Amino acid sequence: MTTIAFPKLISRPTSYTGLWSWIATVDHKRIGTLYGITAFLYFLIAGVEALIIRGQLREAESDLISPEIFNQLFTMHGTTMIFLVVMPMSAAFFNWMIPLMIGARDVAFPRLNAFSYWAFLFGSIFLNLSFFLGGAPNAGWFGYANLTGSVYSPGDGLTFWALGLLILGVASLAASFNFVVTILNMRAPGMSLMRMPVFVWMSLVTSILMALAMPVIAVALIQLSLDRVLDTNFFNPAAGGDPVLWQHLFWLFGHPEVYILILPAMGIVSEVLPVYSRKPLFGYAAVVFAGAVIGFMGWFVWSHHMFTVGLGPAANAAFTISTMLIAVPTGVKIFNWMGTIWGGKLRLDTAMLFSLGFIAMFIIGGLSGITHASPPTDAQQQDTYYIVAHFHYVLFGGSILGLFAGGYYWWPKMTGKRLGETLGKWHFWVMLVGFNVTFGPMHWLGLNGMPRRISTYAEGMGWETSNAIATFGAMLIAVSVLIFIINIIRTIASKQEAEDDPWDGRTLEWSIPSPPPAYNFARIPQVKSLDDFWYQKHPELLHDERGEEPESDEPVVEETHGGGSIHLPGMSYYPIVVALGMVIGIVGFMEIRVDIPGTDLVFPWLSAVGIAIGMYGVMGWSLEPVSEEGGGH
Amino acid sequence: MNLRRLLRPARSRLLFLILVVPAILVACNEGDPQSTFGTSGPIADAQADLFIFIFWIAVVVFVLVEGALIYSIIRFRRRGSDDSLPVQVHGNTKLEVIWTIVPVFILVAIAIPTIQVIYEQREPPTDQGPVLEIKVRAHQWWWEIEYPGEDVVTANEIRIPVGQWVNFTLNSDDVIHSFWVPKLAGKVDIIPGDVRQLAMRADEVGVFFGQCAEFCGEAHAKMRFRVRAEEPEQFQDWLDSMRRPPVELVSADAIAGQTLFAQNCSSCHSTNTWQGPNARNERTRLAGLRLAFLDNFKDTVVIPAPNLTHFATRDTLGAGLIELNETNLTRWITDPDDVKEGNRMKDLATPYRNNSLTSDDVRQLTAYLLELKPVAADAVIEPDSGGGGGGSATERGAATFAANCSGCHSTGDNRVVGPGLAGLSSRGDDAYIRESIVEPNAVVVDGFPASVMPPGFGATLSADELNDLIAYLKSL
Amino acid sequence: MAQVAVKQEQHVHVADTNTGISNRKLLLWVFLASDCLFFGSFIATYLVYRNQSTTGPYPNEILDIPITSVSTFVLLMSSLAMVLAVNYAQRNSVGLARFWILAVAALGTVFLLFQIYEFTTFVNEGLTIRSNLFGTTFFILTGFHGLHVFIGVLWLLGMAFAHFKGALTSRSVEDLEMAGLYWHFVDIVWIIIFTVIYLIGFSDGEGLSTIEHAAAVVGG
């Protein structure tokens, strides 16, 4: 190995406790926890934003907040929920569960994993700093050009938005590369692709979608940033630029993004339902295949977000057909889940309730989706509250409920304690009712002609009652989240200790202690079937179902490399250094002006600093001795 | 745990969705002026019918699937502490094939009428009489309306004849907007630099509410408009009235207000498109203002603004925002931001920037605007009323200037779009001034883009008007 | 954490992954797949905006096909050199491998110099990223590719001066194979870009004339 003289400003972290051990951690479980905590904090922030929005809309002609603030809030609510809540919360579960479910000791690239988290954290903080530095982004999470250009959005908000999302995009790309390699390369012996848990499958599809979709939005964001900062012409109609190009790029990313948001939750539900039904997943292959097909077909439906743009009847008809087709695999999943609970012995614990709530709500969201898969009806529904209702049924009723199901399901594995069931059930029912009271009336509001993204509305439009109900429902949701927080606090304070396998689980993560040790598996498991752990516990089923004889307790093959001891990747400070350098570099490139009174600071030198830090980090990273590279630990 | 108790809310939710939602759908009424139901034209009718068709299919699917879900939750819930394993079913290929195929048939049933309607609504039918063409140009945050060939220009309130197909040609002056009158037709987005068409027909007399449906910036919520469908004769009367001169101002306030308006407002707002040449030139005038704005958007003082010709005949103010009456207009002029936050008038118009607007000014401007209406159809109209027939050449020239030039040029030193024209005679002779008017690009003052001044004045102004105008300009 | 001996140590061993491809190489493949979408989006933007510029300079006035053909040839030859470098590395001839790595880096640098020359010439002739849509899309697309070449040159130089000083290890051979994959990818992308911009698009001129465009914007 090489020995280049490299200034060692940073000595290698050694302690496994304390703040620095978290900053330097490369343990997928700790990184998962960091993702989870951060995402939950942003969930609270986005929730507060939503409550203020609902407060403003509670009655006609309300002036609780100004239109400008309203526009900032709905932009940041959408951006936060998508990029800072659902995606990182899914990443939290990916981080925690993928290695445990495939029988690995860590992800393929632990330091890259840490880098992803820090880049995500810094990017998200940068994005939210805009609130205090001249105004948050205010052009919607979709940021349609040319409103986002410097002529019609002269402030810095949208530069924060474009650059912040770029940084988050880099973080997502790094994470997705890592998970694809981990899942394809690091499975325990015997775990063929078709023996992987559905959650791992959905993580794989999601990661592939991320790896391929994030570049498209990144390019659009680069073009937008260049338009804003260097006066290029990408989306400038006066120079012949076409704002519709932004929409194509955005939705070419945006529709796969929808599946990036929902597939992890579908994976979670596919794990929870069999466990609490005490039955295998109905039609495992079909569920897996449906997920993969959704991920593939998700690339061919983007223009259904643009039915009213005027692309012409041929384009609209074609995208109608592709959009309707994608409903088929989605339906397959729902029917297979119902086949799973049919004939089972359902334990209606909180995780199961959230999963069943997911199915019930997702059906509504799917059906309302069919109504605007038809361009003529979409012409009336596009950009109205009907759409707001639809995608909240899919993304809140779907993704968020699914993620809560995962939270309740895996909490004992992650922390060693079970979340309280009584408060959990209160949480579920208050949230489910509040959710429906909030978003149910929005269907009617949209059909009654209320456009989205309006900061106020006139009296006499017939919108007051439904809006008042929706605002009341939003408060119910807030109460349910408070119940959840109380539940967490009480659980942490309690003295209980969860069993290793509290739910009679089916997958490998339940075969190890709760919480798992740093090395996860003392012995790398040998996988002989789908739901291997379940069949270890119920060997008689192998015979009943498949005519196989339960195998005698043959000695498990020891992990071979390293002669018995377990190698864990060493902690490292370099991921956070590289992330910091990258963020500073990107931010500095684009002349972000920080409005300090009396000055007009421009930081062209900042990029140089960032690049220097980043280069230092990359060199340190590549020269630091590691043991994770080269595969298979 | 008591499962029955837990499950009850689920059941009542289902009940709500099955019973209450359709009930609401049926119960739409006049209290819902922007509803997508209770439609009044073939386009919106077909869209609503298609929705209802899909909706009932969705309701059937919803009841069956949610019903099956709730049934299986209740039926297969664990009773007591029964720890035995249920039958371990891994799948059922026949069943899975069925529930893959059946949705395909349902979706085909939806796709067929959908695609039919898409193609039916592509353009207005050619066999149902003449089609009225209307040009709509969206601005942040108002609508410019033009009846091409009719020499009628207005803003924010569209009048159409009932029973006749209307084809809207939609264009944007700045960002993306969306044109939506729910009771008449679904929306079409308006893309800057591109043109969209939307045909519709109103089958009932009435006022239909419209609103911009694509987020377009700060005052997006207040970018509304009205479409008034009238009997064809009434509509024709209105078109005619829009081409008649305004009534003579009577109140002293209004007369004072006219001067104030000319000094402070006329750079952006025009009130003179009742004259054919001005109506035809209005688009060019606004385009000039837009170019001037784009040229210097960071500290511009001009921007395209709604046409106010015969303003007093309108129902609403501020882009369909509030009823037009003295109270509201006073409120609007006093502080436009109070009514419509984000609008550009507060930022750009001199009296607001200088904080020099007095309550007298407001009263006078209000009085003036509320008297802006056309003379009665039987009133005697001077054939030459446009130029202001009598008076000296300078006076006639002043009238021509007010009608044609004041939008962009001040008579002082300040630059509006074009340069201020005070002391023009010192800059060149008659021939220079004439050339500057007729061929504006021949000599362009440094710092002003070549394309701003419209090149058409040589054709629209008569020789006499041109002479009078030059006389007037030299007097400055 | 303490129950099991946790060791941090340097360890080199053959890939024993499920796919048989080492983690690092698989990572590179996934990255390249992702990078395809980056280039794809930029190329799509260029194609959408062909013949849409409202003012000059237009491609048919400014593109210099002969010069760019030469630089394209240089880049193609660098791929050949890369094949040789990998070949010698796999055969364990350090010196030759190192020579060909430096050749690749040198040819890449020549390509970059051509690009710098081209950019400077264009700017002198009035084409900047601001002047029109062609300028915007041309500079950003070719610049984005140039950035890839630049990173590749840095990577190769780092490898030539670090890894290949001493004996070859299986890991450093794999490093070179990965750099080779990357380099060939960047090369192939250039062939597509060269085809799109220079071969197909060399005669692209003004799209809508200024007057027509003004009419579209102004007149409606």
ipTM: 0.91
Q: Find, among A260, A241, A243, A250, the residue nearest to A173 by Cα.
A: A260
Contacts of B21 in chain A (CB under 8 A): 440, 443-444
3-state secondary structure of A594: strand
pLDDT digits (tens, 9 = 90+) for B380-412: 655 544 444 456 777 777 777 766 776 667 676
Q: Do A541 and B88 touch (CB under 8 A)?
A: yes
Nearest chain B CA: its distance from A450 CA (Å): 7
B198 and B296 in a single domain? The answer is yes
Nearest-CB residue to C216 (from B193, B283, B284) = B193
For A:378-437, CB contacts with C below 8 A are none
Q: Could you tell me how many helices (H) and strands (E) chain C has, helices first?
A: 7, 1
Give tens-digit pLDDT for B269-309: 999 999 988 999 999 999 989 988 888 887 788 899 999 99
* Domains contained in chain B, number: 3
Partner-chain residue, chosen from A283, A320, A339, that has the shortest CB–CB distance to B111: A320
Structural domains of chain C, with CATH: 66-204 (1.20.120.80)
- For residue A152, the SS3 value is coil
**pLDDT value for A608:** 82
- The verdict on residue B381 lying in a domain is no
Write out pLDDT tens, residues A303-354: 999 999 999 999 999 999 999 999 999 999 999 999 999 999 999 999 999 9
How far B171 CA lies from chain C's nearest CA (Å)? Answer: 6
Identify the residue whose tokens are 């407001």.
Answer: B362
Decide: B226 and B180 in contact? Cβ < 8 Å.
no
| Interchain CB contact of A618 with C (< 8 Å) | no
C218 has a chain B CB within 8 A of its CB: yes
The whole-number pLDDT of residue B441 equals 62
User: For the domain that residue B414 is a member of, what is the CATH number?
Assistant: 1.10.760.10
Pick the last residue of a domain from B120, B143, B177: B120
CB–CB contact C49 A177 (8 Å): no
B114 lies in the same domain as B150: no
Of the candidates C214, C218, C220, which has its C-beta nearest B195's C-beta? C220
Note whether B274 and B323 are same-domain residues. Answer: yes
Q: Is residue B144 part of a domain?
A: yes
- Same-domain pairing of B258 and B348: yes
Neighbours of B429 (CB within 10 A): 11
Q: How far is B8 from chain C (nearest CA, A)?
A: 47
In 3D space, the residue among B232, B183, B243, B239 whose CA is nearest the CA of residue B207 turns out to be B183
Residues of chain B with pLDDT > 90, as a percent, come to 57
Q: CA-to-CA distance for B97 and B100, rounded, in angstroms?
A: 5
Residue in B closest to A318 by C-alpha: B115
B221 and B311 both lie in a single domain: yes
Chain A environment of B88 (Cβ under 8 Å): 279-280, 541, 544-545
Shared domain for B216 and B266, answered yes or no, is yes
Contact between residue B37 and residue B28 where contact means Cβ atoms under 8 Å apart: yes
Pairing of strands B206-211, B177-181: unpaired
* Angstrom distance (rounded) from CA A607 to CA A614: 10
The residue in chain B having the minimum alpha-carbon distance to the alpha carbon of residue C213 is: B193
Domain closes at, from B336, B370, B404: B370
pLDDT at A601: 47
Interface with chain C: mutation pick from B451, B452, B453, highest number of C CBs within 10 Å? B451
Is there a contact between C22 and A187 if contact means CB atoms under 8 Å apart? no
CB A149 within 8 A of CB A241: no
CB contact under 8 A, C34 and A214: yes
pLDDT at C220: 39
Tokens of B399: 């009238």
In-domain check, residue B210 = yes
Contacts of B287 in chain C (CB under 8 A): 217-219
* pLDDT confidence tier of residue B421, bands split at 50, 70 and 90: confident
C210 or B38, greater pLDDT:
B38
Strand partners, B166: B132, B200
For A496-524, b/e burial (b = at least 16 CB within 10 A) is eebebbbbbbbbbbbbbebbbbbbbbeeb
Cα separation of A83 and B267, whole Å? 46
**Cβ neighbours of residue B291 under 8 Å, at least 6 residues apart?**
B449, B451, B452
Helices (H), B249-357: 252-264, 276-295, 326-334, 336-339, 345-348, 350-353
What's the whole-number average pLDDT of chain B? Answer: 85
Same domain, B99 and B173: no
**Residue B460, pLDDT score:** 66
Give pLDDT, residue C93. 86
Q: Is B80 on the interface with A (CB under 8 A)?
A: no
Range of the domain at B204: 135-370
Q: Calculate how close chain A gets to B35, using CA atoms only, in Å.
A: 4
Q: Which residue of B has its CA nearest to A338?
A: B69
pLDDT band at C5 (very low <50, low <70, confident <90, very high): very low
Q: Tell me the backbone φ, ψ of residue A26, rounded to 5 degrees.
A: -125, 10
Assess if residue B129 is contained within a domain: no
Same domain membership, residue B48 and residue B183: no
- Tens-digit pLDDT profile for residues C171-201: 788 889 999 999 999 999 999 999 999 998 8
Say if residue B238 is in the same domain as residue B318.
Answer: yes
Listed in sequence order, the DSSP H helices in A382-463 are 385-394, 401-415, 421-447
Share of chain A above pLDDT 70, in %: 90
Half-sphere exposure of A327 (CA within 13 A, CB side): 29
Instruction: Look at the alpha carbons of A548, A551, A556, A560 in this order and tell me if their dihedral is positive or negative.
Output: negative
Partner C, chain A 141-180, Cβ-Cβ below 8 Å: 173, 176-178, 180
Shared domain for B358 and B447, answered yes or no, is: no
What local confidence, expressed as pLDDT, does residue B9 receive? 47
Instruction: List, in order of start, the domains of chain A with CATH numbers.
Output: 25-264+498-552 (1.20.210.10)
Residue C3: per-residue pLDDT: 38
Residues B194 and B270 in one domain: yes
Reduce the secondary structure of A441-503 to three states and give it as a string: HHHHHHHCCCECCCCCCCCCCCCHHHHHHHHHHHHHHHHHHHHHHHHHHHHHHCCCCCCCCCC
Cβ(A170)–Cβ(A582) below 8 Å: yes
Average pLDDT in chain A: 89
Q: Kindly list the residues from chain B whose CB atom is less than 8 angstroms away from the CB atom of residue C208.
A: none
- Which chain C residue has its CA at the smallest distance from A215's CA? C38
Q: Neighbouring chains of A at 3+ CB pairs within 8 Å?
A: B, C
Question: Which one of A441-445, B262-266, B463-467 scores highest in mean pLDDT?
Answer: A441-445
B122-129: long-range pairs with CB below 8 Å, 24+ = B122/A313, B123/B197, B123/B199, B124/B165, B124/B166, B124/B167, B124/B199, B124/B201, B125/B165, B128/B165, B128/B201, B129/B164, B129/B165
Interface check for A5 against chain C (CB to CB < 8 A): the answer is: no
The verdict on B13 and B151 lying in the same domain is no
Contact C220 B193 (CB under 8 A): no
Please indicate, yes or no, if residue B293 is contained in any of the structural domains.
yes
Task: Look at B5 and B205; give whichever has higher pLDDT.
Answer: B205
In this complex, the chains that touch C, judged by 3 or more CB pairs closer than 8 A, are A, B
B71 occurs within a structural domain: yes
- Block means of pLDDT (10 residues each) for chain A, 633 residues, are 48 70 91 97 97 96 94 97 97 96 93 95 95 91 93 90 95 96 94 95 97 96 91 90 95 96 97 95 95 95 94 94 94 95 94 97 95 94 96 96 97 95 97 97 96 95 95 97 97 91 94 92 90 89 62 47 60 91 84 50 70 88 62 36
The answer to whether A109 contacts C207, with C-beta atoms less than 8 Å apart, is no
B220: domain CATH number? 2.60.40.420
Q: Which helix (H) or strand (E) holds A341?
A: helix A313-341
Pick the residue from chain A with its C-alpha nearest to B49.
Answer: A377
What are the pLDDT digits (tens) for B79-133?
887 778 898 888 899 999 999 999 999 999 999 999 999 999 888 888 889 999 9
Position C8 pLDDT exceeds 60: no
Q: Does A241 touch chain C (CB under 8 A)?
A: yes
Give contacts of C216 with chain B, Cβ < 8 Å.
193-195
Asked if residue B375 is part of any domain, the answer here is: no
Q: Is some CB atom of chain C closer than 8 A to the CB atom of A631?
A: yes
Q: Number of B to C CB contacts under 8 A, please give it.
A: 19
In a domain, B127, yes or no: no
CB contact (8 A) between residue B90 and residue A284: yes
Q: B308: which 2 tokens?
A: 């106010």
Q: Which of B349, B316, B358 has its CA nearest to residue B226?
A: B316
Chain B's closest residue to A361, CA to CA, is: B66
* pLDDT tens per residue, range C53-92: 888 899 988 999 999 999 999 999 999 999 999 999 888 8
Statement: residue B446 has pLDDT above 60: no
pLDDT band for position B454 (50/70/90)?
low
